[in-house]
Amino acid sequence: MVISGPSGVGKGTIVDELLLRFPTTSLSVSCTTRAPRDGEKDGVNYFFITKHEFKEIIEKGGFLEYSEHFDNFYGTPRKFVEEKLEEGDVILEIEVDGALQVKNAMPEALLVMIEPPSREELYRRLKARGTESEEKIARRMERYDYEISKSYLYDFEVINDDLETAVDEVEAILKRRF
Ligand code: ADP
Ligand code: 5GP
């Protein structure tokens, strides 16, 4: 299952809750060239690598998908996902360009777009999270329109207004109760 949605919409919060509910479901850990945020751990939140290392993995065909985003590269390690799929469901939390590459490579993937109740609420959540500067928040808000414009290419759209309701809806999709 691939989960996308604008930065700050609550993807990470929803995924954390799903992982608690389903211990055999795993979260794919992506590679990124961006710097770790406070509290982020290598191998847990991301594999933090250099642009040079990222290019080497591209050349070896090691990514299931990758894209450039906010001046950095992000990619899903192919082997990591294939191994985890042997144990159970795998969730990828990635942006739209990468999600569509996954759908091409694996048509059985379920694409879920998480949407905020409103643009204003998204801004409020990004501010409240307090991990980005005002300039970075502005860039993430610009990206919002692009992400939402691609929703029609997704299999499901879930509005994250009440958290519990949103998690229940994503759980139903994961367990293919649709
Ligand atoms: P993302 O992973 O999509 O960037 P996060 O999961 O980090 O977003 O959530 C951004 C902020 O919004 C966090 O502070 C989180 O606690 C808060 N949040 C998530 N879901 C809700 C919700 N349904 N209502 C209110 N706040 C929420
Ligand atoms: P952040 O820097 O906030 O962690 O992530 C920025 C964006 O990159 C988010 O939309 C996130 O979903 C996306 N992202 C994270 N990992 C990957 C990945 O492996 N591939 C792609 N295409 N996007 C990713």
Of 147, 12, 122, which is closest to residue 67 (Cα–Cα)? 147
48 neighbors 129 (Cβ within 8 angstroms): no
How many CA atoms lie less than 13 Å away from 93 in the CB half-sphere?
21
Q: Is the pLDDT of residue 69 over 90?
A: no
State residue 178's pLDDT score. Answer: 85
Q: Where are the domains of the chain?
A: 2-177
Output the ligand 1 site: residues, CB below 6 A: 5, 7-13, 125, 128-129, 160, 163
Q: Is the pLDDT of residue 70 over 90?
A: no
CA distance 83 to 147: 29
pLDDT at 146: 87
| Residue 140: per-residue pLDDT | 87
Q: Where are the beta strands (DSSP E) in 78-110?
A: 90-93
pLDDT one-digit tens code per residue, 34-65: 999 989 999 999 999 999 999 999 999 999 99
In this structure, are strands 111-115 and 2-4 parallel, antiparallel, or unpaired? parallel
The pLDDT tens digits of the residues spanning 110-139 come to 999 999 999 999 999 999 988 889 998 998
At residue 89, the pLDDT reads 95
Pick the residue whose CA is nearest to atom 23 on ligand 2.
94
8 A C-beta contact, residue 19 and residue 25: yes
Residue 11 CA, ligand 2 centroid: distance in Å: 11
* pLDDT reported for residue 120: 95
- Phi, psi of 74, deg, nearest 5: -135, 135
Ligand minimally distant from the alpha carbon of residue 92: 2
Please give the Cα distance from 169 to 171 (Å, whole number). 5
Give the Å distance between the CA of 126 and the centre of ligand 1: 8
Give the total residue count for the chain.
178
Q: Which residues have C-beta within 8 Å of that of residue 125, sequence separation ≥ 6?
A: 8, 9, 10, 116
Residue found by looking up tokens 């191998």 in the block: 43
Tell which CATH architecture fits domain 2-177: 3-Layer(aba) Sandwich (3.40)
Which protein residue has the closest C-alpha to ligand 1 atom 20?
10
pLDDT digits (tens, 9 = 90+) for 133-178: 999 899 888 888 888 899 999 999 999 999 999 999 999 999 988 8
Residue whose CB lies within 8 A of the most ligand 2 atoms, among 30, 33, 46, for a mutation test: 30
